[in-house]
Amino acid sequence: MKRLLIICALLFSTVAFAQAQQGQGGGRMGGTPEERAKRSTEMLAEKLKLTDDQKTKVTAIYLEQNAKMRKLRDSLGDNREGMMAVMVKNTQESEAKIEPLLTADQKKLFATWKEERKEMMKKRAEGGQRQNGTK
Tell me the pLDDT tens digit for each residue of 91-122. 899 999 999 999 999 999 999 998 998 888 88
Q: What is the mean pLDDT of residues 20-36?
A: 63
Q: Are 47 and 113 in contact (CB under 8 A)?
A: yes
Q: Which is more confident, 16 or 34? A: 34
Q: pLDDT class for 22, splitting at 50, 70, 90?
A: very low
What pLDDT is stored for residue 16 in this prediction? Answer: 54
Nearest of 58, 65, 62 to residue 99 by alpha carbon:
58
- Rounded mean pLDDT, 46-55: 93
Which residues lie below 8 Å from residue 114, measured CB to CB, with a gap of 6+?
95
pTM, two decimal places: 0.66
